[in-house]
Structure 1
Amino acid sequence: MLFREIYRRLGRGLLLLLAVLVAGMVGYHWIGLSAGHDWNWWDCRYMTVITVASVGYTEVFPVRDIPGAEGFTVAIILLGAGAMVYASSVLVALFVEEDLRHALRRERMRKAIHKMKDHIIVCGTGSTGITVVRELRATKRPFVVVERDAERLARLEAEFGKDQVLYVQGDATEDDVLVKAGVERAMGLVAALPTDKDNLFVTVSARQLNPNLRIVARAVEAGTAPKLLKAGAHRVVSPNAIGGMRMVSELIRPTVVEFLDKMLRDRERNLRIEEVPVPPDSPLVGQPLRQAPIRRITQLLVIAAWEPEPDRYTYNPGPDYVLTAGVVLIVLGEVDDVIKLRAFFETGERSSVVHVPPRT
């Protein structure tokens, strides 16, 4: 049963109960006038209420001594009881329906998370975590949120919409919660809990559950960073250090900062600096960039290339730069074009490049 239908029925029940109360007041007043009694409206209302509620208080009017009054009282009792039973049943159904709806949503979410693979787990949705979530949404990456605070989850749904963000409500430092989030199948994890101690616990647990997981942890205290790295984090990010770099960049390179800000906040064009790896089995391995029709199928600009061996960056690679297995191209452009290029690199066929609908 839909909520709208329940609210509609509840409204009908309350209107029916109100109609019984009004009919009782008018009826008793009319009966009193017919018998030559001047029963005021307050007494008529009181008599109707105690009759409908069946509380058993002393009768205000001598209904047994007045013709028709006793039968009218019986009718009011039956109609009032029926209206109250109807309204009460709908009210109970409202609570049951809400609980059932939450249960169904949790089950759908559990099944969706169970099917996920190579996703990112975001532990904590404070000021740092919510920024991570927004960026993952903007770049269309699959992710699962782990959050203990119900109020933060409510704010998450208010910002992105219900059923738009998959989450697990629980303590991210507990192994079973991480397992529910699919840590064994995930490709990355962001530890953005409020305290360094909790982030350290998450890092240790996640590394034990998935040795291949890429972990990025948040650290407030500078002394915590070495411990997080030793516990298994690939990178440690300090909000204080990032904030300091941002402040000095605003002074010495304000145009660059403004460019990056506009790129990240542009609502018309979803521009990002992204990385596109060349798979080892890609048909484009061994070919120069000029034969990879990047500019023909996308509007991406290749600004650098990283070679894992010997861990070297080539900035602004030219048309003769040869693509090798495992090389990662760093590109600037729209997210949809990045997705198209990844698909093209995997098959080498333009027919594999599918249209990616815009994010709503």
Structure 2
Amino acid sequence: MRKITFKILTKMPTRYIDNGIIFIAALFIYGIVGTHYIMNLGWFDSIYYATITMTTVGYGDFLPSTGIQKIFATTLAIGGVGLLAYVFNIILTNFQEKMSEYSQGAKKMKAIEVMKDYYIICGLGRVGKVVLEELLDRNQNVIVIDKDKDKCESLKEADNLIVINEDAIEDDLIAKLAGKKCRSVIICTGDDVNNLYIVLTIRETNPDAWIVTRASKLDNIKRLRKAGADKIVSPEIIGGEDLYYESTRPHILRVTVKHTVDEIYDEFRLIAKHGCTLESIDYHLPGIETPLTREIKAMKLHDGKRYQNYLNSHDDQRHALENLYKTVNTVHSHFISGPDQVAFDKLLKDLEKQEEIIGVNLTNEEIAKITSKEIN
């Protein structure tokens, strides 16, 4: 208990203490100067008189006799009593607030102890809020750490959400929480220096922790990786990719087809022939709306030829891809970017001659309805 009390007092906001000292000093100076000139006492006696009057001790060895002296002594005594009460009230109020915070903190730590696997989010900015929403939508347990009190108070705690108003870089709390029960630490602050420090703190004590961090600047990606981050996400890269895809949306074609592994190269040959790029492939599990997505980003014919040679020389990889095709009943969608609609029209005509086209620019929901018929 003594340790907690000492910690509370040492963490008391200095502005309260500073203001109290300034007020006391000002009143003391007023008492000394006033005593010297109004009570007609020497400087040493003035210090003595001001002290005993401010503290309402009043030994009675110096008594005010004139009206002005009585008024001065009264104001000094009232000022001393009021000021001491003010300072004591500030200290007591702040002490109670700190005790309440420590009590709440103890309750949160107990809640964390009984909480099963959880995610930790460091930083509740715009990125952190999006991550939090995604996790809560999936009914995951989440611990949020942020030094901004207003942001923390804006969240409503629940059985699966604990909010800690602390600075992750100033406490060893993050190192303690990133233990075996922590599925992942997601660092979302906008300051790469803070992110780097948090990564180092966690990695030093938890070598097996899975750490995902944000990198505000591309130059810091290597530093964060060297510090021990498992995954690094840059809004600049993601934003650039989104801008690219949005800008090419009028020239993006989604073709849902059925074909075998042996026909991959022939299909790619047609895509390259018309100056198009195979951006990604979605593999549609029967009756499931969300597909498995694989990025490709290939546009040159030799890319397709090299991949064909790779499959021909690696039986295990070919076997794995064939199993994937069997799982999705060979139904998959190609995201293809191209120069214009004319190129797309020509490409579709060639593809129709080679493989079965289920549809063009179908939504995942529409494709799920089609594939669900195969289950029935």
Structure 2 length-normalised TM: 0.41
The structure having more radius of gyration, on CA atoms, is 2
